[in-house]
Amino acid sequence: MDMQKTIFPSMEPSKQFCPHSMCCARGQIGAGNIVIHDRKRERYRCTRCRKTFSARRGTMLEGLRKPTELIVIVVTLLSYGCPLQAIVHAFGLDERTVASWRDRAGIHCQQVHQDIVETAQLDLQHVQADEIRVKGCKMVAWMGLAIMVKTRLWVAGTVSRTRDRALADRLLQQVRRCAEPLKALLVLTDGWCAYPGSIKRAFREKVKAMPGRGRARLVVWSELHIGTVIKRTQKKRVVEVTRKMSHGSQEEAERLLQQSQGGNVLNTAFIERLNATMRQRLATLTRKCRQSARHLRPLETGMYLLGTTYNFCWPHHELGKPVHEGRACTPAMAAGLTDHIWSISELLHYKVAPPAWVEPKQRGRRKKQAREPLSVAEPARLRPLVRLRKGVLCSATG
């Protein structure tokens, strides 16, 4: 038995779910319908639909033939900002292969972020948002980011070619999906005029003023507070800082600042620190480099790869201080999303369960009701007509 365990990998059917879209047990974990089909090829079988699937189904490693250890090492180097050409020369891989692994890892991290962070319903308390100007190859793009100050959790990110209202709306809608409804919230941004309106549109609920028939109207949260920090620079140095409240009260904003340990005055220091981390570890954001972005898709996948590893895999230095957690802790641990530090391998092997199967509605023609024979007393116009062979219509009784 010991030799068999060393040859074949350990497989746990109780932690698997059926991924097939037409299975009635799709996405159900621990339902007892998954059994081991082949240990050598690492395949499971569902007893409901009787179909088999790979143990890598639903992970970043699905369909890849390279060794898992090599893929994990390459993704780890990419998440720490290693240039793509350096990985190509170090491991003898093709440049398109490494770029494909980067995009696959970013798409998988986006699914993990949507499954864990955006469904957590967190009490955010204090959020800071900002955008990064990305100078690419024959283009200029913008990357919007948002952070939960208390836990340093990266909660939202979006990429766009233009710095317009749509960029701010998409960013704040992601923050809204992470937030617990109708909780006290302070949002701090820079002086961009699009932010206050986007924040108010994102954080509002339907309220019906009068009972009975009629439409409900959208009302902004009563505990929403919006602060703006405007910095005026001269010769690349900050010479003046203007702090003001765009919505809400100053007293409640200061209380939320103290509660989230976000400083004594309105500031955007935490999101600027995250921006610096993104510029340091995402090769396409490094200033004066040969990794200039050519398309928006690699920017987006790289952003999700860095953001998810930042949340789950990197212990935060500030959270390890006694005033915070006092131990090696990641932002996801501080937010209560997990109880341990994830490895890159664990992140790439994480499976996002599909939505539960819903029985489709029965469609088709309704059954015809049996008609009773008409009596002689009924008028002739109600009697059914029958078509004879000669093409002449006449009454069924005639």
- The pLDDT of residue 396 is 45
Using alpha carbons, select from 269, 264, 254 the residue that is nearest to residue 318.
269
> CA-CA distance, 45 to 296, in Å (whole number)?
39
pLDDT bucket at 151, cuts 50 / 70 / 90: very high
* pLDDT over 80 at 391, yes or no: no
- Digit-coded pLDDT (tens) for 270-287: 999 999 999 888 877 765
By mean pLDDT, which of 57-66, 104-113, 169-178, 251-260 is the weakest? 57-66
Question: What average pLDDT does range 154-167 have in this prediction?
Answer: 94
189 within 8 A of 225, measured Cβ to Cβ: no
**Domains along the chain?**
1-55 (no CATH), 118-294 (3.30.420)
Q: Is the pLDDT score of 126 beyond 90?
A: yes
Which of residues 123 and 291 earns the better pLDDT score?
A: 123
Nearest CA to 134 out of 275, 284, 308, 304 is that of 284
Cα 249 to its chain centre, rounded Å, is 32
Does residue 393 surpass a pLDDT of 80? no
The pairing of beta strand 224-234 with beta strand 185-189 = parallel
The Cα 172–Cα 357 span in angstroms is 31
pLDDT over 60 (residue 1): no
Residue 25's pLDDT band, with cuts at 50, 70 and 90, is: confident
- Residues 103-116 have a mean pLDDT of 94
Query: What is the token pair recorded at 195?
Result: 């932010």
Q: Is 191 helix (H, G, I), strand (E, B) or coil?
A: coil
Partners of 220 in beta bridges: 204
The predicted structure's pLDDT at residue 137:
76
DSSP H helices in 228-268: 250-259
| Residue 144 CB burial class (10 angstroms; 0-12, 13-18, ≥19) | buried
Q: Note the Cα 83 to chain centre separation in Å.
A: 26
Assigned token pair, 80: 């720490």
Residue 364 pLDDT: 65
Q: What is the DSSP string of 291-304?
A: ----SHHHHHHHHH
Q: What is the pLDDT of residue 87?
A: 93
**How do residues 67-90 score in pLDDT, each as one tens digit?**
999 999 999 999 998 888 899 999
